[in-house]
A and B are shown apart, each in its own frame.
Chain A
């Protein structure tokens, strides 16, 4: 049965260090929700507090309508009573048990009849494609198999919430892709509320219904992956979600329309004037897909300093106003190093940071 998870003002301090700084999250029933951020941003601590493995310093956690943690009110439900399943980064497969015993463990803790334990264990192993491995001792499993046992063990007791702590980070690239797909399809089939922790933006993009980008114990932005990617609320979010080009520029307001003037390279018409004023020093941020080579034309002029073939397309480094921009172009484009080229910008893809007034809040999700 899918359940929502609500977090209010969650706080965790280790001595004078604040690992999680009063965050609020609202995870809807059946959602695949991802906590994304670099190591040390507090995402794993947040997950562990939801699990009950870490005691919060403040704030409240609700699972459905049940309050499971509220230090101010003396509420702390121990992990074994929270009806959650968890897959650990190290998988934490008990080495002194067989595959079957590992998966049956949570069912036996529920004091289910023997026959039921047997039946449900095998059914869950079937679900992850390990039915043939039931009697194998756990230490004799490969990384991918351990991962599946961990998933089966977490799912066997039909928990209300599934917690995944970087479950893919110990797998090699090919297996990671396959497991990513399997986790997503299993989750979709069972419709279980899932909270996933990762530092890999690709995993976050491809798996999630919603992503919360965390930084220094705070949530920088929450939204569907596409929204977070295309409408980053902060420069940090934009940088974290993929390669970003940065350009320093000065704002010029011409006929009521703001333009960004890049010294020695040209001017880009930004359209909106919101949050920007004449003379502001700003940083423009945009991804390589928002800039195209336009030899002999475009908004900016630069010099090609490097060209690399990256399978399917070319990546050029174009020096513009002292900064090196990464620009993609078709594989058959053949511009010599040292030549000068024009660049055409896709204005929707440009974010400006550092204006004199706060930037506008991100708009509603793009459908």
Chain B
């Protein structure tokens, strides 16, 4: 028997094998911390979450912010397309994973989904580079949504951008839950973006002619926590799954398909109608 032709490489995770089995784990370390020997029972879920991505333990303030953000994102509610998709899985009796795959695919989107967060975080990177005292320049960074002349590898498959990232294209004024979340998160004093957003929300929304969406708030929070746009996109997908899962199960076990909306249809290219029109003509 020969050894592996190439190894898996990681800076995140180290496992020591059981003495009697090279495939079983005796101890696991995450970025050097003994997960089961030291962290378990002492650290919080968000501590490990932050550690996994950033390679270091969060400060108490960062952990509080991430914990609060996770709560704010946990359930977009049954009207959200992502949760609706998961519920469609539940109502038909699809497998649990199918409901979550549905939630992830829909929740990945460029309008209201994880791609929206990533693009908004890209915009926050431009915001950092803009002169601190130039409010107009900073706002311009956050509302730009021109499509690039040439698609980058990460642009593949995505449609043209229809609105600035992180804003609600159908909003009239800032939704109450967004304002409540912004006030709470900005008050936690981590990073400059949330407090700037809180202070300049009116000017920013006026320039965008759209109200801030929860994705825009999440983007600012992820960026204040030090996450990259790619990390923010991934975390947004992850942190919105709890509500999708719960709603999928509720439809499957409590309500069933007979109480799930199945709207009437307005078929605008109907051969029966065409035939009737032709016979009249």
A and B part of one assembly: no
Residues of A within 8 A of B (CB): none
Residues of B within 8 A of A (CB): none
